[in-house]
Amino acid sequence: MKSFLYLLAMLNVFQLVTSARISPEDNSVKSNAHASGKGTTLDISQKLERIENSLGAVAKSPLAPAGISTLLNHVHHADDEIKGLKNEKARYAIFQNISKEIAAFQNELVSKKKQLIKAEEVDKANKAKNFQSVVEKLKARETQIETAEQNAQMAHQKRKEEVAKMKPGSEITHESDHTQKILKYLRKKTDRKFHKNMAKWKEEKKELHEAIDAAKNENSDQMISGMNHLIHVEKGDQDFLH
């Protein structure tokens, strides 16, 4: 992403560079050349120096594109050649060639920009697909929990009804009293397990909702945080996403 943004900025630099170029077909410049050969040579040289400075600034970046150092050397060499020549046609021929080379390099950058945009779109689509896959798995887990809750509630209610029907007889013996104590102990143990599971499932669903919302918003950090909390709540079901 950084290279993509830098490339956009670099293309803006090249727009400034190319605006400083003299078109090979620029008749007004050719006319000025015949009128004042030395002045035009300086004008061309000044433009090349501005181009060289702009390219030099880009070349210093660690994200600079391959080939820019070579282009920079060619611009510098062309400037030196133009300064050393007296023949105007030869000067313009050199300038035309370097202008074409700069334009070709700029076209490569434009092409690279298109490739990066396309790659960014593909990456975005894959990212959305991956997040959607996570959402589906989390929702499937939520359905499992809701089913477990319903089954537990039904079983709990059934046990309560059965216990209500089990009334002790009129004559309480040592054996029946012992049985009632065992049943009471088992009932309390079952109730504690039921309420513990219900509390755990409630907390797990809360974490699930947060993770689902984060995945829908494509927020990786919040989603991962939610997933970690979810695993902490229910360590026994860590493999449900695999």
pLDDT tens digits along 176-223: 667 777 877 888 888 899 899 899 899 888 888 888 888 888 888 888
Contact 100, 21 (CB under 8 A): no
- Give the whole-number percent of the chain exceeding pLDDT 70: 74
Single-letter residue type at 91: R
Report CA 29 to chain centroid distance, whole Å: 49
Rounded CA separation 13/54 (Å):
7
Mean pLDDT of 142-157: 92
Q: What is the pLDDT of residue 41?
A: 57
> Which tops the pLDDT comparison, 173 or 74?
74
Q: What is the rounded average pLDDT of the residues 121-141?
A: 90
Task: Please indicate, yes or no, whether the overall pTM of this predicted structure exceeds 0.75.
Answer: no
More confident residue, 209 or 25: 209
Asked if pLDDT for residue 30 goes beyond 80, the answer is: no
pLDDT at position 11 over 60: no
> How high is the pLDDT of residue 93?
92
According to the per-residue pLDDT averaged within each range, which of 25-34, 43-52, 69-78 is highest? 69-78
State residue 3's pLDDT score. 54
List the chain domain ranges.
2-121, 130-241
pLDDT at 166 over 70: no
Are the C-beta atoms of residues 20 and 50 closer than 8 Å to each other?
A: yes
Q: What is the mean pLDDT of the chain?
A: 78
Q: Which residue has the higher pLDDT, 233 or 146?
A: 146
Query: What pLDDT band is residue 152 in, cutting at 50, 70 and 90?
Result: very high
* pLDDT higher than 70, residue 35: no
Is residue 172 over pLDDT 60? no
Query: 48 and 75 in contact (C-beta within 8 Å)?
Result: yes
Position 27 scores a pLDDT of 46
Give the tokens for residue 126.
């894959």
Taking only Cα atoms into account, the Rg of the chain, rounded to an integer number of angstroms, comes to 39
Mean pLDDT of 90-113: 89
Q: Which string of b and e fits 33-56 if b means at least 16 CB within 10 Å?
A: beeeeeebbeebbebbeebbebbe
Average pLDDT over residues 26-31: 46
- The full length of the chain comes to 242
pLDDT of residue 8: 55
